[in-house]
Structure 1
Amino acid sequence: MARLPKSAVAPATSGWGALGALVGLGCGWHFQLDAWVSWTLLMGLAAVPMWISEWRARNVSPGNLEVSSRECLKGVAVVTSLFLGSMQLQLICGSEKGGGVSSLVLPALVACLLLGFTALVGPRHLSSSIPACGRFVQAILRGNRPDHQDVVAFMGWVVKAVFLPLMVAWSFTWVAGASEVWHGENWFAIYATGLGLLYAIDTAFATVGYMSTSEKIDGQIRSVDRTWLGWLSALACYPPLSVLVLDTWLVYKTGLDWQSWFSDGSIVAWVWGGAILLLTAIYTWATVVFGPRFSNLTHRGIITSGPYRWGKHPAYLCKNLSWWLIFVPFLGNETTLDAVLHCLALLGVNAIYAIRAWTEERHLRSDPEYRAYAEWIAQNGCLAKARQLLLGRAIAGRGHDGA
C-alpha cells in the first residue's frame, strides 16, 4: 500500500499566511490605501506568520557562519551582479512584462549595500549561500571544479535573481490593478477584481518563497535542476524569453477575450467567469500551500497537501485550462485557418508546461519522499480514481450483458 509522505510545509503554516494575506488586502480595500501600502501589508502579513510558524515548528539551529568578511563580500558582489544583470536584461529585452522591474533597481541596490554592510560588521548573520557564491566564481576563474554545495548555492541565487524581481513587480501590478476595479458593481468588475486578487496572492506567495531560503526556517535550497531542458522550458514562460516564444511564435490571443462574447450579467457569463475564477483559485491555492518554500527549478521539500493530494501538477493544469476559457482562441477569428492556428499555438504553450512538469518530476525523483508521493498519487489521485470508477462501470456493464 502506497504511503502519502507528510508535506514539507504544514497546512497550518500556509493557512496563517493566507489569512494574513486576506487581512492585508481587506485593510487596503476598506481604508482605500495607496497601492504600495496595500502591497506592503499583503506581503508582510502573509510572510511574517509563516516565518514564525516555520521557525517554531522546525526549531532549526544552523549555527554561526564562520567565514571572513572578505569571503562574504565576494559573495555579495556576485549576488549583486546577478540581480543587476538580470534586471538590466529585463529592461532591455523583457518588453512590457519585464519592464515593471525598472522601479526595483534602486531598492535592489540598497538591499545589496545592506548585505555588504552586514558582511563587514557581522558576516555570521548572513546565509551560508552568499560566501558559497563567491567561492563558486573564484573556483571557475581559477579553472578548478567547484564544490557541489557551492554550485547549488550559486544556481539558487541565479534562480532568485531571475524570478524574484518579476514576482515583486507583478504582485504589485495585480494589487494596483485590483484596487482600480474593485469598486465596480457589474459582474465583469466583480470577475476582474476576483481574478486580480487571486493573482496578487499567487505572486505575493511566490515572492515570499524566493525571499525565504534561510536555514533558520529550514527553507534552504536542497538542489537545483541542472538540465538545459528544465531551464529552457521554465524560462520560456517568463520574460525576456517569453517575448520571443509566447508573444512572437506561439500567439494564441485574438485580441478579444471571453467578455467580448457574453452579455454582462447573463447566465452564461456567470458560469463562464465563475469557471475561470474557480480554476484560478485552485491554481493560487497550489502556490499558497508551498508556504514560504515556493520557487521554480529548485527542490526545497515535497508538498503533499492541498490540491497536491489530487494530482502532481494542479497549478499547471488549472492555469492552462483557464487560458482556454479566458482567451477563447477558437472565437474571434476572421477565418477557420486563423482559429486553427490560434488553437495550435495555445496547445504549444500547453506542451511547454507539460515539459516543465516532466522535468520537475525528473529532478525531484532523486528524493525518496517524492517517489513515495508519486506512487501514492498513482493509486489515489484524481486520475486513478477516475480510472477505477470507469473500470468498475465497465465490469458492471459486462456483468449485466452476461446476465
Structure 2
Amino acid sequence: MDHDAQLAGMAETDPRPQSAVSHGAGLSGLVGVLVWIGFARHYGMDGPYSALVNVAACGLPMIVWSLLVDKVHRNPSTGIDWSAARLWRETLDLSLTKLAGLWATWAGIAVIYGAGRFYWEGNFAFAMWCFTNAAPILFVASIPYVLWIDRYLVEPRDVAWHLGAWLTGHAGVDREAIYGHLRAWGVKTFFLAFMLAIVPPGFGNFVRGDVASVLRDPVALSGWLVTLMFLIDVAFATVGYLLTFRPLDSHIRSANPYAAAWMPALMCYPPFILMTTGGPLDYHPGTSDWAYWFQGHPRRRIRIGGADVR
C-alpha cells in the first residue's frame, strides 16, 4: 500500500496545547512550595502570614526561572521591544492616560469590594486585609512601572490606555478594547479575592497535621493529602492571578465574553455558589461520603482513599 508521509506526521502531532509556562518554571515553583511547607511544619508556622510566604515561595522561583532560564521577557508575545527604548518624554502623555485608566479600574474594584458585605466576613476578610495594605503600594509603584514599560512597548496604546482615553476625552478610543479590559479585571477581581481567602485555611490545616495520626487512619491520610493537593493548587493559582505582567509574558490576553461561560464559573464560587449547604443545588441531604459507607472495612478504605488522592 502507498504510504502518505503527511498523514503519518499529522497523526504523530501532539494535540495538547502548549503550556503557559515551561516545565522548569512549574517545577521550580513546586520546589519552593515544598521547601517552605517543610520549614513551616518544622517550626510550627501555620498562620496566615506563613501562608502568604508560601505563595511567595511559589512565585519567586518561577519568576527567576522564567527570566534567567526561559528568558520570557524576550518573547515577541510580550509586545515589548527592548532594543527600541523611547525617551520618557515621548511616552509621558500615553503613560498618564494609561494610569488614569488603571486607577479608575482599581477604584471601581474598591467600590465593589466595599459594597459587598460578604467580602468583609469569614475567610474573605483576610483577602480584604491583603488588598487594603497592598493598595497604597500598588498605587505608588504603578507610576514608575508604567512610565518605564511604556518606553519599550511596541504599542503602548493598550486596553488600559483606551479606558483612560475614554475617561479623559481623547480621540481614537476602541470600545471593544475597553470591554476586554473590564472583563479581564473582572476575572481578577472575582477570583483573586477568593484565592487569597482560601490560602490560609488549607495551609494551616496541612501544617498542623499530625503525621503519626494520619498514617494510622486511611480516611485522615486521604484528607490530609487532598489538603496538600489543594494547598499547592491554590498557591499556583494565586501566583497566576497576581503576576499578570508583560515582562513575564503572563499578561491577560483576553477573557471569555460569553454569559454561558461565566454562569457555571460564578455558580461554583462564593458569593454566588449554589451547591453550598442550604443552597438551591445542595446535593448533600441524604448522602454520605466513602468514609461512611466503607467504615469497618479498613482495607477497602485504604484502596478507596488512594484512588481519592489520585
TM above 0.5: yes
Moved more, 150-159 or 255-264: 255-264
Matched, 1:46 2:58: yes
* Structure 2 residue matching 1:253: 3-state secondary structure: coil
Deviation of 1:75 (Å): 1.7
Residues 177 and 196, structure 1, Cα contact 8 Å, conserved in 2: yes
Give the counterpart letter for 2:125 in structure 1.
Answer: S
Deviation of 1:227 (Å): 0.6
- TM-score when scaled to structure 2? 0.75
Give the counterpart letter for 1:12 in structure 2.
Answer: G
**Ranges in structure 1 where 5+ consecutive residues have no aligned partner:** 279-403
The whole-number CA distance in structure 2 between the counterparts of 1:113 and 1:95 is 19
**Ranges in structure 2 where 5+ consecutive residues have no aligned partner:** 1-9
Deviation of 1:31 (Å): 1.9
Deviation of 1:42 (Å): 1.9
The alignment covers a number of residue pairs equal to 274
Give the counterpart letter for 1:156 in structure 2.
Answer: A
Aligned residue for 1:277? 309
**Structure 1 residue aligned with 2:198, among 144, 150, 170?**
170
Matches within 5 A, 1:3-402: 3-4=13-14, 6-56=18-68, 57=70, 58-60=72-74, 62=80, 66=91, 67-69=94-96, 71-86=98-113, 88-89=115-116, 91-92=117-118, 99-120=122-143, 123-125=146-148, 132-133=159-160, 135-136=162-163, 139=166, 146-183=174-211, 184-185=213-214, 186-187=216-217, 188-243=219-274, 248-254=279-285, 256-263=288-295, 266-278=298-310
The whole-number CA distance in structure 2 between the counterparts of 1:151 and 1:238 is 23
Aligned sequence identity (%): 22
Deviation of 1:253 (Å): 1.4
Deviation of 1:130 (Å): 11
Deviations 1:351-399, CA, capped at 9 Å, x for gaps = xxxxxxxxxxxxxxxxxxxxxxxxxxxxxxxxxxxxxxxxxxxxxxxxx
* Structure 2 residue matching 1:50: 3-state secondary structure: helix
Go from structure 1 to structure 2 and tell me whether the alpha carbon gap of 1:73 and 1:136 turns closer, same or farther (over 3 Å shift).
closer
* Structure 1 residue matching 2:273: 3-state secondary structure: helix
Deviation of 1:216 (Å): 0.6
Deviations 1:303-342, CA, capped at 9 Å, x for gaps = xxxxxxxxxxxxxxxxxxxxxxxxxxxxxxxxxxxxxxxx
Go from structure 1 to structure 2 and tell me whether the alpha carbon gap of 1:171 and 1:120 turns closer, same or farther (over 3 Å shift).
closer
Deviations 1:201-253, CA, capped at 9 Å, x for gaps = 11111101111211111111112110110111211111122147885222211
The whole-number CA distance in structure 2 between the counterparts of 1:256 and 1:145 is 56
Deviations 1:80-100, CA, capped at 9 Å, x for gaps = 4225514743x43x798xx41
- TM-score when scaled to structure 1? 0.59
Deviations 1:280-313, CA, capped at 9 Å, x for gaps = xxxxxxxxxxxxxxxxxxxxxxxxxxxxxxxxxx
* Structure 2 residue matching 1:59: 3-state secondary structure: helix
Residues 73 and 119, structure 1, Cα contact 8 Å, conserved in 2: no
Deviation of 1:50 (Å): 1.1
The whole-number CA distance in structure 1 between the counterparts of 2:249 and 2:145 is 21
The whole-number CA distance in structure 2 between the counterparts of 1:85 and 1:158 is 10
Go from structure 1 to structure 2 and tell me whether the alpha carbon gap of 1:247 and 1:16 turns closer, same or farther (over 3 Å shift).
farther
User: Which structure features the higher share of helix residues?
Assistant: 1
Aligned residue for 1:350? none
Go from structure 1 to structure 2 and tell me whether the alpha carbon gap of 1:130 and 1:251 turns closer, same or farther (over 3 Å shift).
farther
The whole-number CA distance in structure 2 between the counterparts of 1:95 and 1:246 is 20
Residues 101 and 166, structure 1, Cα contact 8 Å, conserved in 2: yes
Aligned residue for 2:3? none
Give the alignment's Cα RMSD to 1 decimal. 3.4
The whole-number CA distance in structure 2 between the counterparts of 1:38 and 1:221 is 28
